[in-house]
Amino acid sequence: MAEYNYDVLVIGAGPGGYVAAIRAAQLGLKTACAEGRATLGGTCLNVGCIPSKALLHGSELFEEAAHGTLAKFGVKTGPVELDLSVLQGEKSGAVKELTGGIEFLFKKNKVDWKKGYAKFKDAHTVEVAGETVTAKHIVIATGSSVTPLPNVPVDNDAGIIVDSTGALALDRVPNHLVVIGGGVIGLELGSVWRRLGAKVTVVEFLDQLLPGMDGEVRKEAAKIFKKQGMELKLSTKVTGATVEGGKATLTLEPAAGGEASTLEADCVLVAIGRRPNVDGLGLENIGLSLNARGQIETDHDFRTAVDGVWAVGDVIPGPMLAHKAEDEGIAVAENIAGLTGIVNHDVIPGVVYTMPEFAGVGLTEEAAKERGPIKVGKFPMLANSRAKTNREPDGFVKVIADAETDRVLGVWCIASVAGTMIAQAAQAMEFGAKSEDIAYTCHAHPTHSEAIKEAAMAVQGKPIHM
Ligand code: FAD
Ligand code: NAI
């Protein structure tokens, strides 16, 4: 009899876990994956990336029809009405198809799904739904969940104070939605409900939106979202909330302290960040401790401090992004199989899927300057022929390069398709490109991506179209 039931047991079937499990099975390892949720795919497929993008897409179509973008191009519509239940149905359909797709891939690759929440008994043994399962290697991919805000209790069923999961499932368009937190979730889901007719106020603790992004991008984001009709209350904190008669009343204070004020809303979205899922995992049974931020630390190969136990995704340090988790999932499986799995954490793109999209990869201008002398090239989307023709004037591309070596250190884009454009910048950086390499790469015309070439030309000296 084999020493263990499995070569690999993965805990959690989000983008980190399900990808690790499939890759391990593809590499010939006998693999199981424990997942307590009723469907596979984790936060991303069930209550994250996928449902939010469905609502972003649908609400964008609604706004284009209702507010004249279609008419501007000669597409006449009758009176435009929203059927929210149809939109929510499309969203649920996409989620069902994609989560079902992972179940199909598990079967195809012979990954056993252990239905339940796993708890460590020792470093090679977990208990899942009453079953004891042993494995030579165990990968923790338990992801993250919403960070609660003290004195602002979320109740997704009541639908007044909600988190991202509640905000994805509203059955009405709020009159006034207050978003607490001007980060990625706040701006994406705030945009959804603004487009569908809500007045949206964003309360952000810091003096700018989108922490972690390039300073100029953050400033431009504030201008763009204000122009779109969002009210921004920056440098402001929420200290409490009461709910009465279908309305919430929030108490606000300047972040630096000062006089309190109140704000009423019929819906409040709490989106102040996410924290790793480690409760109930039994880490104490294997002697694995957490860092100061509650995360599991790993080495470059995704090994934890406990032999045979590995970890990937939102539960370890780094940006909480699905593609980062997926790449770590592939790498950890390859490392377990004795291959060399590597993730270059310096080149992980980040995208905010609003209109326009905000995207970046590598260093911000502020961080690059701290590292040494740099050259910066910028090109406005207003001067890009395709963006101009599509009447998408907002945004710019910025390329940051080392002043001495010309190596690209960071690229930032605000454009309708910035999320797609940023892939070429990530690939160039992965290949160690200089800005000159991008400037002399032939880009198809007319495309938004030409703005990346022109920004790289601006690093070199001058772009053509400006
Ligand atoms: P998760 O996806 O959180 O999966 C972990 C899984 O582990 C869960 O299903 C959980 O049920 C399970 N689990 C936990 N504990 C146990 C246990 N003890 N036993 C068994 N199972 C367990 N990222 C992007 O890159 N792009 C986006 O557009 C994007 N949009 C987002 C929108 C929203 C609203 C949210 C909330 C997040 C979004 N993210 C996005 C972030 C993305 O969802 C996460 O970075 C990603 O899901 C992390 O993957 P993971 O595998 O580490 O964890
Ligand atoms: P976030 O970290 O992006 O933003 C949270 C914001 O809340 C910050 O700006 C922070 O300063 C602010 N904040 C914190 N405490 C506050 C308080 N008390 N009052 C007011 N503001 C406060 O976190 P968010 O938006 O919750 O998203 C969580 C994670 O999910 C992110 O790390 C992100 O990577 C991921 N995600 C990614 C998406 C994408 O890739 N498009 C989409 C949605 C989420």
Contact 211, 184 (CB under 8 A): no
At 287-333, the pLDDT tens digits run: 999 999 999 999 999 999 999 999 999 999 999 999 999 999 999 99
Q: Whose CA is nearest to atom 34 of ligand 2?
A: 320
At 357-407, the pLDDT tens digits run: 999 999 999 999 999 999 999 999 999 999 999 999 999 999 999 999 999
Q: What's the complex ipTM?
A: 0.99
Q: Whose CA is nearest to atom 38 of ligand 1?
A: 48
What confidence score (pLDDT) does residue 381 get? 98
**C-beta of 64 in contact with ligand 1 (< 6 A):** no
Note the Cα 61 to chain centre separation in Å.
22
Q: How many angstroms separate the alpha carbon of residue 143 from the centre of ligand 1?
A: 5
How buried is residue 240: exposed, middle or buried, by Cβ count under 10 Å (0-12/13-18/19+)?
Answer: middle
Residues 184-213 as b/e (b if ≥16 CB within 10 A, e otherwise) read bbbbbbbbbbbbbebbbbbbbbbebbbeeb
**C-beta of 192 in contact with ligand 1 (< 6 A):** no
At 89-131, the pLDDT tens digits run: 999 999 999 999 999 999 999 999 999 999 999 999 999 999 9
**C-beta of 42 in contact with ligand 1 (< 6 A):** yes
**C-beta of 141 in contact with ligand 1 (< 6 A):** yes
Whole-prediction pTM value?
A: 0.98
Structure tokens at 449: 């991506």
Which ligand is in closest contact with the Cα of 13?
Answer: 1
Atom of ligand 2 lying closest to residue 187 CA = 25
pLDDT grade for 345, boundaries at 50, 70 and 90: very high
Pocket residue to mutate for ligand 2, from 184, 187, 323, most atoms within 8 A of Cβ: 184
Q: Whose CA is nearest to atom 23 of ligand 2?
A: 273
Which ligand is in closest contact with the Cα of 187?
Answer: 2
At 13-33, the pLDDT tens digits run: 999 999 999 999 999 999 999
Alpha carbons 459 and 375: distance in angstroms, whole number: 6
The two most distant CA atoms of the chain are separated, in Å, by: 72
At 39-91, the pLDDT tens digits run: 999 999 999 999 999 999 999 999 999 998 999 999 999 999 999 999 999 99
Which of the residues are catalytic?
Answer: 445
pLDDT value at 187 more than 60: yes
The torsion region of residue 279 among left (phi > 0), alpha (psi -120 to 50) and beta comes to beta
At 405-460, the pLDDT tens digits run: 999 999 999 999 999 999 999 999 999 999 999 999 999 999 999 999 999 999 99
At 195-224, the pLDDT tens digits run: 999 999 999 999 999 999 999 999 999 999
**C-beta of 118 in contact with ligand 1 (< 6 A):** yes
pLDDT grade for 277, boundaries at 50, 70 and 90: very high
pLDDT grade for 174, boundaries at 50, 70 and 90: very high
- Lining residues, ligand 2, CB within 6 Å: 149, 180-186, 188, 203-206, 211, 237-238, 271-274, 319-321, 351-353
What confidence score (pLDDT) does residue 2 get? 73
**C-beta of 17 in contact with ligand 1 (< 6 A):** yes
Which ligand is in closest contact with the Cα of 143?
Answer: 1
